[in-house]
Structure 1
Amino acid sequence: MSTTWHLHWLGTGSAQAEDLNSASGVLERDGQPVMMIDCGESALRAFQARYGQVPMALFITHAHLDHVGGMERLYYQLIFDAERSGRCRLYVPANLLPVLQARVADYPSPLAEGGANFWDAFQVIPVSRGFWHQALWFDVFAVSHHIPQTAFGLALSGSFLWTGDTRPIPAELQRYAKAPTVIAHDCAVEGNPSHTGIEDLLATYDAEYLARIWIYHYRRDAERQVYLSRGLQVAKQGQTLALPAPEPAWTSATRAWSPAP
């Protein structure tokens, strides 16, 4: 039986979302979680409801609380679990580590009993261009969200690309999202200096890209009809989307170390 690949949206909501869960996705292989992307509080609950366990591999795109607000809860669930504590692989872009430290890990003593640091619960793996996980090479790239080099996207070559919160990033999609890659793209109805809007999306990407883009990170479910009326595809909370199989890992890893075209 051939391997199946899917992207499951635990949540599709922005920081102002109404009942959409925090924006977060899970790469699945044969129905099992390979990697969770971001860890908002509601997304962590959704992960546990779907898979019956805590995530054991996690990539963080940036440190806004709707994307990392579940990490303290995850810490407590891991630190008291002798089998899992210290084994959750936490992939963090190196430039983001000081921000994440200040945002979620710098409390003087995370346990009242003492004897444990926040990062003891995780296997923290700083990353730059990309990283290996379960024999797969994942590309990492900076996106355009607030201050430069504080937000990052993730791609599995030939399979999917997750932008995280961003303005349009045509150069990054050209490099990391060649067809038939599925593109999960941040998009609000109206854009702003930190987020893509519908008009930004339509003005930046041609029809070939738009056909592969699935919008997420919007404010309310009622807005879905606005996107659909413009011919765009919209992800829903709890949706599972079939993905193309990734290209051979060594091919994509080698390209990551080559100059951008």
Structure 2
Amino acid sequence: MNWNLHFLGVGAAHAVELGSSAVVLERDGTPMLLVDCGPDTLDRYQAAYGEPPRAVFITHTHMDHVGGMERLFFRLWFDEQWRGRTKLFVHAGLMSWLQARVADYPNVLAEGGVNFWEAFRLVPCTRGFWLDGHWFDVFATRHHMAGTSYGVALAGSFAYTGDTRPIPEVLARVAAGNEVIAHDCGLVGNPSHTGIDDIEREYDAAQRQRMRLYHYGSEADGAALVARGYAIARTGGRIALPEPAPVRPDAG
């Protein structure tokens, strides 16, 4: 069985030419889980797979990561074979923020009579979630306020940080083996995002070797990261993953 991460976009919020950062976990070429849904994500997803996503995980509620949710609502609601089928995994601590950002507008349809979340199969989670027989770990990251951003990991295969400052102690727990680590990284860090100097200061060599950096600010910034010896994710690119580990006895 082949597993890949397909990067629909890799850009920071202002790097529109690189696409909103979003990734699809693929199993044998079939999409399994979309992570985040920015303003251009649905178009990129449908171009790649010809249908809406069957499962989505939201890392946090900044608009470059959830700005496509309203369009996804319309795509699902007006197709009865899709209405209520797409699983939407959201950390329980984000629900009030997500409700305020994308769902709390009066009358989501002009005709009224429809609740935003009826278009989805909403699955709140905390420690993680089950999908197609696999347990996905959900972990807190460091982005703006505490308790407002989360990453996702599949043991033995990958960890995806979403937007974050360095979290070496967290990744030592959820990606302790040979997992590919998709990590937020720009050329220069700031109080909410990781920079390459942060990567070199906070992570050991073994962790750095497994990283694929994304959420950078431009093609030129990506080239500069490569020139410093790092592997980057590229818009539309796929990264091969190790086979997931057997489900842990403590999963769930």
Q: TM-score, normalised by structure 1?
A: 0.95
Partner SS, residue 208 of structure 1 = helix
Unaligned runs of 5+ in 1: none
Aligned to 1:29: 27
Partner SS, residue 232 of structure 1 = coil
Partner SS, residue 166 of structure 1 = coil
Structure 2 counterparts to residues 1-261 of structure 1, below 5 A = 3-249=1-247, 251=248, 254=250
The Cα shift of 1:34 comes to 0.3
Unaligned runs of 5+ in 2: none
**Whole-angstrom CA distance in 1 between matches of 2:129 and 2:80:** 26
**Amino acid in structure 1 at the alignment position of 2:236:** G
The Cα shift of 1:26 comes to 0.3
**Whole-angstrom CA distance in 2 between matches of 1:23 and 1:225:** 17
Q: TM-score, normalised by structure 2?
A: 0.98
* Cα RMSD for the two superposed structures: 0.9
The Cα shift of 1:190 comes to 0.6
Seq. identity, %: 53
**Amino acid in structure 2 at the alignment position of 1:182:** V
The Cα shift of 1:18 comes to 3.6
CA contact (8 A) 1:18 1:219 kept: no
**Whole-angstrom CA distance in 2 between matches of 1:109 and 1:245:** 45
The Cα shift of 1:69 comes to 0.3
The Cα shift of 1:179 comes to 2.2
Q: Which deviations, in whole Å up to 9, do the C-alpha atoms of 1:44-77 show, x marking residues without a partner? A: 1110000001111000000000000000000001
**Amino acid in structure 1 at the alignment position of 2:213:** I
The Cα shift of 1:248 comes to 1.0
The Cα shift of 1:88 comes to 0.7
Aligned residues: 252
The Cα shift of 1:130 comes to 0.5
**Whole-angstrom CA distance in 1 between matches of 2:183 and 2:237:** 15
Runs ≥4 residues deviating over 4 A: none
The Cα shift of 1:228 comes to 1.1
The Cα shift of 1:113 comes to 1.6
Partner SS, residue 17 of structure 2 = coil
